[in-house]
Amino acid sequence: MTGLYNPAGWGAYFLNGTVFIKSAAVIAGAVYPDFGCNFEIFNEPEFLELETLGPQIELGPEESVRHMETWTLFQNVPNGKDDAWIRVAIAPLAFTS
């Protein structure tokens, strides 16, 4: 598992022309768990997990908080293998979801 503070608030997984994008709002200046991570990736041979984390918030009695994710799936995305491909083919999809 690895984690990071991701100010963009989204991550993507590409396989055979299909892209899965998961995103969540990022609150600048908030305190996030796991040493400041708002995004974590866990992988096993059988799967890859993209996980968003909300900020740490202290709640009082009868208070609640909601952490919302957006999941979007795109098909027929052209293949690529470098940072330029991510900027041209993947990043624009993250901003339309």
The tens digit of pLDDT for each residue in 18-69 reads 999 999 999 999 999 999 999 999 999 998 999 999 999 999 999 999 999 9
pLDDT on residue 49: 94
Q: At residue 4, does pLDDT exceed 90?
A: yes
Sign of CA pseudo-dihedral 86, 90, 94, 96: positive
| Cβ atoms within 10 Å, residue 50 | 19
pTM of the model: 0.87
Tell me which residue has tokens 């096993």. Answer: 44
pLDDT on residue 97: 63
